[in-house]
C-alpha cells in the first residue's frame, strides 16, 4: 500500500497535508459527491416511471459504493476533510457534526471490511489504523479459553486482532475479554471499535479547528457555507421526550460543585462560576438526565423550565460569584453576560424566554477538564473514585473462584453477574467493607478494572438515582410491615 492511501482509513493522517498543498479542487464535484453520500437523490424534470427511477437510483448507488471504497486519495481527501471543516463553527456536539462523523465512519468501515480480508495489504492497513489506536494481529501467546470465546463471539467467528484496553477505556469493556492489557477482537468488533475511536478523534479535530478560527477571527471561503447548507439540510428532525425539572438536592452535588458554591479566589473565579457552576446548576435543576450527553438529540425544555433558569438558577450563580474573593461580578461585570451566554441566552444582560437558543447551552465540563483548568476544585470522594467494574483477566478470575471458598468466592461469583459495586454487595450477601477489600485486591492484581465517573452531572444523576432507589426500598419495607 502506498503511504498516501492511508488517507482512506484515517483522514487525519499527516500525509493529507501533502495531498492538499497546491492541489486544486472542483467545488461542484465535491458538493455532488457529498450529496450522494448523504443519499440525496438528484432532481430531474423528466417524467420517469417510479419503478424505472428506483432501478436507476440503485444502479447509481452501487457505482457510488464502489467509488467510496476505491476512490483515489487525492480526491477522497476533499470528500472527507472539507465536511469536517465546514461544521467546525458549529462544534463537535452539533447534529451537523454528528451527521458528518457518521458519513465518514460509514465509508471507512466499508473500506476496512474489504481491506482486512486482503492479505497483501492487511499489515499496511493495521499500520494506518495505529494513527487512531494501537492495533496488532492476535498474538499466539494470547490464550483464550474456548468457553469464554464462545460466550463472547458467534460460533462461526474468531478473534483476529487485539487492541490495548486503555484505548477502549471510554467504552463498555464488560462484554470483552481482557488479557495482558489487550482486548482480543474479531474483524467486525475491530471495525466497530475503530469507527468509534475515529469519530472521537475527528470530533476533537472539529473543536480544534473551531477554536483556531475563533481565536484568529478567520473566515472560510463561501464554498464552505454552501457545503454546510447541504449538510444542515440533512439533519433529521429530533423528537426528544422532555425531562421535567426537579428541585436541586445539594447533598447529591459532587465535591467540585460544593467547592465552587462556597466561593473561590481570583485565580479560579471565571472557570469555577461562569463555566462549571453555570452549566452544572442549569442542567441539574431543569434537565437532570444523561440524555443531555447524546450528541444527536437536542434537550427540549418548556417555557416553565426556561423561566426557572432565569428566576432561580441565575440568582444562585450570582450569589456564588459574590462569595468569591474578590466578588466576581462586581470585579468583572462582563462575566454576567458570559453566564447568560453559557446558559443559551446569548450575550444579553436582560434576556427573556424568547432569547433562549441564541447561543449554545453548554454542558458541564468533564472531570478531566476540571482537573486541567482548576485542579484545586477536584477533591474526589468515594463516588468519584468508585465506578463499575470490567473484568480484565477472566481466566484468573475463574481460577480464583475454583480455589476459594466463603466470602471471597461469594464476591467472585457476584462479579460474574454484575459490574455495579452496590449490586455486588447485594448479590454476594457479604459486608460492604469486605467486598471493597476484595475488589481492591483484584484491581491491584490486574484482574478488575474500574471505570469511574467522568462528569459532575453524571455524578449528580447517579447519586440521585441511588437516593431514589433507597427511598423506594424503605417505602416498600414500610408498606410490607
What pLDDT is attached to residue 38? 83
Integer angstrom CA distances of residue 478 from 199, 238, 466: 49, 42, 18
The pLDDT, as a whole number, for residue 274 is 94
Contact status, residue 288 vs residue 249, Cβ threshold 8 Å: no
Same domain for 293 and 222: no
Q: Report the pLDDT value the prediction gives residue 217, as an integer from 0 to 100.
A: 79
Higher pLDDT, 481 or 262: 262
Spatial contact of 266 and 324, defined as CB atoms under 8 Å apart? yes
In a domain, residue 167? The reply is no
More confident residue, 100 or 89: 100
User: pLDDT tens, 399-432?
Assistant: 888 888 888 888 888 888 887 778 888 888 999 8
Assigned domain for 450 exists:
yes
The model's pLDDT over 66-81, given as tens digits with 9 standing for 90+, comes to 556 667 777 788 888 8
User: Is residue 98 over pLDDT 50?
Assistant: yes
Query: In this predicted model, which residue has the larger pLDDT, 164 or 149?
Result: 164
> What CA–CA distance (Å, rounded) separates 90 from 235?
13
Q: Give the lowest-confidence range in 17-26, 125-134, 247-256.
A: 17-26
Res 238: pLDDT: 44
423: domain CATH number is: 1.10.10
R_g of the chain computed on alpha carbons: 26
Judgement on whether residues 223 and 311 belong to the same structural domain of the protein: no
271 shares its domain with 331: yes
Give the SS3 label for residue 182.
Answer: strand
pLDDT for res 450: 75
275 and 407 assigned to the same domain: no
Q: How many CB atoms lie within 10 A of CB 67?
A: 17
pLDDT one-digit tens code per residue, 390-408:
787 888 888 888 888 888 8
pLDDT of residue 67: 55
Q: How many CB atoms lie within 10 A of CB 235?
A: 13
Average pLDDT over residues 246-270: 90
> Do residues 225 and 365 share a domain?
no
Average pLDDT over residues 79-90: 89
Is residue 401 located within the same domain as residue 470?
Answer: yes
In 3D, which of 282, 273, 296, 293 has the Cα closest to residue 245? 282
* Residue 297 pLDDT: 65
pLDDT band for position 183 (cuts 50, 70, 90): confident
- Distance, in Å, from the CA atom of 347 to the CA atom of 367, rounded to the nearest integer, reads 27
Cα separation values, 320 from 200, 276, 375, Å: 34, 12, 19
What does the H/E/C string look like for 193-240?
HHHHHHHHHHHHHHHHHHHHHHHCCCCCCHHHHHHHHHHHCCCCCCCC
With respect to residue 259, please indicate whether it lies within any of the assigned structural domains. yes
DSSP code for 265? B
What confidence score (pLDDT) does residue 204 get?
A: 92
Query: Do residues 206 and 100 both lie within one domain?
Result: yes
| Backbone phi, psi, residue 38, to 5° | -90, 0
Which comes out higher in pLDDT, residue 302 or 61?
302
Q: Count the Cβ atoms, other than its own, within 10 Å of residue 5.
A: 19
Do residues 302 and 425 share a domain? no
Structural domain including 345 reads 250-377
Closest CA to 381 of 462, 321, 309, 297: 462
Q: Is the per-residue pLDDT at 360 higher than 80?
A: yes
> What per-residue confidence (pLDDT) applies to 330?
92
Q: Does some domain include residue 195?
A: no
* pLDDT at position 259: 92
Cα–Cα dist 84/199, whole Å: 11
Flag whether 88 is in a domain. Answer: yes
The partner residues of 357 in beta bridges, in order of sequence, read none
| C-alpha to C-alpha distance for 448 and 253, rounded to whole angstroms | 28
Residues of the chain with pLDDT > 90, as a percent, come to 25
Residue 296 sits in the same domain as residue 416:
no
Range name among 44-48, 105-109, 293-297 with the lowest pLDDT average: 44-48
Q: Is the pLDDT of residue 56 over 60?
A: no
Number of domains in the chain: 3
pLDDT band at 52 (very low <50, low <70, confident <90, very high): low
14-18, 100-104, 220-224, 379-383: which range is least confident on average?
14-18
Domain final residue pick, 360, 377, 394? 377
**For the residues 335-358, what does the mean pLDDT come to?**
89
Whether 367 has a pLDDT exceeding 60, the answer reads: yes
- Asked whether the predicted pLDDT for residue 196 surpasses 70, the reply is yes
Which of 377, 398, 414 represents a domain boundary (last residue)?
377
In this model, does residue 147 exceed pLDDT 70? yes
Q: CA–CA distance from 147 to each of 46, 151, 182, 224 (Å)?
A: 60, 6, 19, 53
pLDDT tops 60 at residue 46: no
In a domain, 270, yes or no: yes
**Domain stop point among 314, 345, 377:** 377
Note whether 209 and 301 are same-domain residues. no
Tell me, what's the pLDDT at 50?
52
pLDDT over threshold 60, residue 370: yes
For residues 128 and 256, membership in a common domain is answered with no
Q: On the CB side of 143, how many CA atoms lie within 13 Å of its CA?
A: 3
Between 214 and 257, residue with greater pLDDT: 257
The residue with greater pLDDT, 69 or 196, is 196
Cell 452501487 appears where? Answer: 62
Q: What pLDDT digit, counting tens, does each position of 442-460 carry? A: 888 888 877 778 899 989 9
Cell reading at 354: 424568547
Closest C-alpha to 409, from 432, 433, 428:
428
In the predicted model, is pLDDT for residue 244 greater than 90? no
Q: Residue 340 pLDDT more than 90?
A: yes
3-state secondary structure of 136: strand
Contact 92/207 with Cβ under 8 angstroms?
A: yes
Dist CA 122 CA 396 (whole Å)? 33
Q: 3 pLDDT exceeds 80? A: no
Asked if 414 and 361 sit in the same domain, the reply is no
Q: Average model confidence (pLDDT) for the chain?
A: 82
Alpha carbon distance 117, 283 (integer Å): 47
Is residue 159 assigned to a domain?
no
Q: How confident is the model at residue 205 (pLDDT cuts 50, 70, 90)?
A: very high
C-alpha cell at 430: 457479604
Q: Is residue 166 part of a domain?
A: no
Amino acid at each position: 500500500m502506498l503511504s498516501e492511501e492511508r488517507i482512506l482509513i484515517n483522514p487525519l493522517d499527516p500525509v493529507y497535508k501533502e495531498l492538499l498543498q497546491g492541489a486544486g479542487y472542483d467545488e461542484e464535484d465535491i458538493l455532488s459527491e457529498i450529496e450522494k453520500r448523504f443519499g440525496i437523490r438528484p432532481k430531474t424534470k423528466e417524467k420517469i416511471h417510479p419503478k424505472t427511477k428506483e432501478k436507476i437510483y440503485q444502479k447509481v448507488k452501487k457505482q457510488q459504493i464502489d467509488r467510496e471504497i476505491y476512490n483515489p486519495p487525492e480526491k477522497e481527501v476533499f470528500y472527507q476533510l472539507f465536511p469536517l471543516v465546514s461544521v467546525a463553527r458549529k462544534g463537535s456536539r452539533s447534529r451537523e457534526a454528528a451527521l458528518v462523523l457518521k458519513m465518514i465512519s460509514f465509508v471507512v468501515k466499508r473500506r476496512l471490511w474489504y481491506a482486512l480480508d486482503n492479505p497483501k495489504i492487511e499489515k499496511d492497513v493495521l499500520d494506518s489504523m495505529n494513527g487512531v489506536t494501537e492495533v496488532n494481529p492476535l498474538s499466539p501467546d494470547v490464550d483464550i479459553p474456548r468457553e469464554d470465546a464462545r460466550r463472547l463471539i458467534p460460533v462461526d467467528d474468531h478473534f483476529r486482532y487485539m487492541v490495548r484496553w486503555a484505548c477502549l477505556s471510554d467504552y463498555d469493556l464488560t462484554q470483552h475479554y481482557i488479557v495482558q492489557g489487550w482486548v482480543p477482537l474479531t474483524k467486525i468488533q475491530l471495525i466497530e471499535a475503530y469507527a468509534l475511536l475515529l469519530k472521537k478523534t475527528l470530533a476533537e479535530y472539529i473543536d480544534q479547528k473551531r477554536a483556531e478560527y475563533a481565536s484568529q477571527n478567520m473566515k472560510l471561503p463561501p464554498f464552505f457555507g454552501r457545503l454546510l447548507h447541504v449538510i444542515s439540510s440533512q439533519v433529521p428532525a429530533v423528537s426528544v421526550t422532555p425531562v421535567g425539572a426537579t428541585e436541586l438536592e445539594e447533598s447529591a452535588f459532587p465535591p467540585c460543585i460544593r467547592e465552587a458554591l462556597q466561593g473561590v479566589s481570583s485565580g479560579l473565579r471565571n472557570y469555577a462560576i461562569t463555566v462549571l457552576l453555570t452549566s452544572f446548576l442549569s442542567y441539574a435543576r431543569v434537565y437532570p438526565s444523561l440524555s443531555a450527553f447524546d450528541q444527536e438529540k437536542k434537550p427540549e425544555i418548556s417555557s416553565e423550565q426556561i423561566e426557572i433558569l432565569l428566576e432561580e438558577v441565575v440568582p444562585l450563580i450570582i450569589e456564588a460569584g459574590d462569595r468569591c474573593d474578590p466578588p466576581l461580578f462586581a470585579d468583572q461585570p462582563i462575566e454576567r453576560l458570559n453566564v447568560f451566554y453559557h446558559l443559551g441566552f446569548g450575550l444579553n444582560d436582560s434576556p427573556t424566554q424568547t432569547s433562549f437558543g441564541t447561543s449554545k447551552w453548554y454542558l458541564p465540563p468533564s472531570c478531566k477538564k476540571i482537573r486541567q483548568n482548576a485542579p484545586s476544585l477536584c477533591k474526589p470522594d468515594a463516588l468519584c473514585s468508585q465506578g463499575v467494574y470490567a473484568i480484565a483477566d477472566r481466566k484468573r478470575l475463574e481460577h480464583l473462584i475454583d480455589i476459594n471458598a466463603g466470602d471471597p468466592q461469594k464476591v467472585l461469583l457476584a462479579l460474574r453477574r454484575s459490574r455495579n459495586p452496590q449490586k455486588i454487595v447485594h448479590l454476594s450477601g457479604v459486608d460492604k467493607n469486605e467486598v471493597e477489600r476484595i475488589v481492591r485486591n483484584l484491581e491491584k492484581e490486574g484482574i478488575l478494572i474500574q471505570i469511574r465517573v467522568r462528569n459532575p452531572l453524571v455524578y449528580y444523576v447517579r447519586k440521585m438515582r441511588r437516593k431514589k432507589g433507597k427511598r423506594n426500598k424503605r417505602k416498600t419495607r414500610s408498606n410490607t410491615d
